[in-house]
Amino acid sequence: MAGKLGIIAGGGALPRMLVDACLASGRDFHVFALEGQTDAGTVEGVAHGWFRLGQAGAVLALAQQLEIRDIVLAGSVERPSLSSLRPDWKTLSFLMRLGRKGLGDDGLLRRIVAAIEEEGFTVVGADSLLDGLKPAAGCLGRHQPNAEATADIERGRAVLAALGEADVGQAVVVQQGMVLGVEAIEGTDALLERCGALKRDGAGGVLVKLAKPRQETRTDLPTIGPETVRRAAAAGLSGIAIGAGATIVISRDEVVRLADEAGLFVVALEAG
């Protein structure tokens, strides 16, 4: 039996999927829920505690007290302002060491992982604990991209490759070769809402969501789920392209059902 698992839970369905997997397998665990981030249903009926994002010291101290060995960071987290963070000493020390070096998402996450592992824990990826999250190459549903959508996908790949080098965003919306929007700190849902208003007349655009060139894969793999499909459909897009073996798909059956009903393609791309 694997050792006790610490689940640092953000928003969305993924943290509860990890909880349910632990319950099914009998693995001991404790959930560290984040105030203003974690869904209440994530911790229903299970051992947990609530913490501010600025309480890294309290989280790690309790994890050591509970003899946790592995830690998984899962779910979405909205970055707080520095004024609202109210960091404890451990968090403040980390921020002082970080300086301006890790202001991009991936740079920050790499340093968070390193800081956790310096305390004697092992950080593991959610995909290593749950089966079937990352699809192989190919279309997930009935629909396939046409020639115009394929050209938009390739344009999106090129844009994300350039942005990834600067540690900015995982997603872009492209229509007829035009970049309608790039994901920044607001996240993919907000990107799709914004691009719906910018969509041009004619064939729908494509959401392309891919890992960055040096992605910290244990903590921040690109993720889509049913809500992504709903928002893509509401924005009038023709489909979604993700990285094969490098993107988490939450509730895959529901994603496929919704995409098929909306006439959207969802395609997993080979690296290249």
Whether the pLDDT of residue 235 is over 80: the answer is yes
* pLDDT (mean) for 244-262: 96
What does the mean pLDDT of the chain come to?
90
Report the DSSP beta bridge partners of residue 7.
Answer: 31, 72
What are the tens digits of pLDDT across the range 2-59? 789 999 999 999 999 999 999 999 999 999 999 999 999 999 999 999 999 889 999 9
Cα separation, 141 vs 160, whole angstroms:
24
133 falls within a domain? no
Report the DSSP beta bridge partners of residue 3.
Answer: none
Same domain, 239 and 150: yes
pLDDT score of 186: 82
CA 58 to chain CA centroid, nearest Å? 24
Cα separation, 61 vs 222, whole angstroms:
30
Residue-range definition of the domain harbouring residue 30: 5-128
Same domain, 148 and 252: yes
Whether the pLDDT of residue 96 is over 80: the answer is no
Q: Say if residues 231 and 207 touch (Cβ distance below 8 Å).
A: no
What's the order of all strands across the beta sheet hosting 122-124?
48-51, 29-34, 5-9, 70-74, 122-124
How many domains does the chain contain in total? 2
Does pTM surpass 0.85?
A: yes
Least confident range from 60-64, 212-216, 221-225: namely: 212-216
The domain boundary, picked from 128, 152, 171, lies at: 128
What are the tens digits of pLDDT across the range 173-196? 999 999 999 998 788 999 999 998
